[in-house]
């Protein structure tokens, strides 16, 4: 069954900002500011992993990184931005562990972390007994410490996030002399438009019979027609 198409029309899309997402964004910025003021490079390196586009545009982060550059604190810079060769624990496995605990608590409606850890341990033990290979999992004590340390940041990361533009700089912080590679674009001219796109994309001329077509709701003016043969 289908409806006959209506006449061409325009569509307006409105983007609204969720209050909870904006509150999350403001909290992330405050955490970055606090870490910068406390010279807490460990926390900053974690925030860079979770919120790279936000951290790099916080004014206090710019000030701290510029000071480290002036002081030639290369080890600290590499640690914060997680550059190759930088010191510090890898974050990927740690957040995988936190995610596993959080998912166990959510899926099984558990309130205590210890209950989730026992459930995970049982799941892994049964998997090994059945010959199933699962990713490496730390000991329960390590998992509990990791979850306690990173739980709040992980839950922030798991939410929708929107940062008011007045809290951020126009451009992210970059090391002195850094020149970003230009983004390659290809220009394709169509009959009624010029399209900028990446070299790997394919652009085709839209079919005239489906341009600006909107399927209207069923009404008396638009009889329903059967697509089955008579």
Please check whether residue 59 lies inside any domain of the structure.
yes
Q: In this structure, what are the phi and psi dihedrals at residue 183, rounded to the nearest 5 degrees?
A: -80, 120
- What pLDDT, on the 0 to 100 scale, is given for residue 18? 81
pLDDT of residue 84: 47
Cβ neighbours of residue 116 under 8 Å, at least 6 residues apart?
101, 104, 105, 108, 110
- Say what the pLDDT of residue 88 is: 46
Burial class, 65, CB count within 10 angstroms (exposed 0-12 / middle 13-18 / buried 19+): buried
Q: Look at residue 204 and tell me if it is in a domain.
A: no
pLDDT at 29: 96
Q: What is the pTM of this model?
A: 0.62
Write out the E strands in the chain: 186-189, 194-197
Residue at 39 is within a domain: yes
Q: What is the pLDDT along the chain (230 residues), one digit of tens a residue?
A: 444 555 666 666 655 668 888 999 999 999 999 999 999 999 999 899 889 999 999 999 999 999 999 999 989 998 898 754 444 444 556 788 888 899 999 999 999 999 999 998 888 888 888 888 777 777 888 888 989 988 899 889 988 888 989 999 999 998 887 665 666 777 787 777 777 777 777 777 776 554 443 433 434 444 444 444 44
Residue 141 lies in a domain: yes
Q: Is residue 110 part of a domain?
A: yes
Instruction: Judge whether 205 lies within some domain.
Output: no
Task: Indicate whether 58 belongs to any domain.
Answer: yes
- Measured distance CA(197)–CA(177) in Å, rounded: 28
**Residue 83 has what pLDDT?**
58
* Number of structural domains in the chain: 1
For residue 2, being part of any structural domain is answered with: no
Structural domain for 116, as ranges: 18-179
3-class secondary-structure state, position 188:
strand
């Amino acid at each position: 069954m289908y409806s006959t198409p209506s006449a061409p029309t325009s569509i307006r899309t409105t983007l609204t900002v969720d209050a909870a997402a904006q509150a999350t964004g403001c909290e992330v910025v405050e955490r970055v500011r606090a870490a910068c003021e406390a010279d807490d490079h460990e926390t900053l390196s974690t925030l860079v992993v979770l919120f790279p586009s936000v951290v790099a545009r916080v004014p206090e982060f710019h000030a701290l990184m510029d000071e480290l550059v002036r002081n030639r604190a290369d080890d600290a810079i590499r640690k914060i931005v997680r550059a190759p060769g930088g010191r510090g624990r890898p974050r990927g496995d740690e957040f995988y562990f936190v995610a596993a605990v959080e998912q166990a608590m959510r899926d099984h409606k558990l309130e205590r972390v210890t209950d989730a850890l026992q459930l995970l341990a049982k799941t892994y033990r049964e998997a090994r007994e059945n010959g199933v290979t699962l990713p490496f999992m730390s000991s329960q004590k390590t998992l509990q410490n990791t979850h306690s340390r990173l739980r709040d940041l992980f839950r922030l990361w798991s939410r929708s996030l929107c940062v008011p533009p007045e809290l951020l700089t126009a451009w992210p912080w970059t090391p002195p002399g850094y020149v970003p590679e230009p983004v390659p674009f290809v220009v394709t001219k169509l009959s009624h438009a010029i399209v900028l796109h990446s070299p790997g994309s394919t652009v085709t001329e839209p079919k005239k019979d489906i341009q600006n077509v909107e399927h209207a709701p069923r009404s008396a003016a638009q009889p329903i027609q059967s697509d089955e043969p008579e």
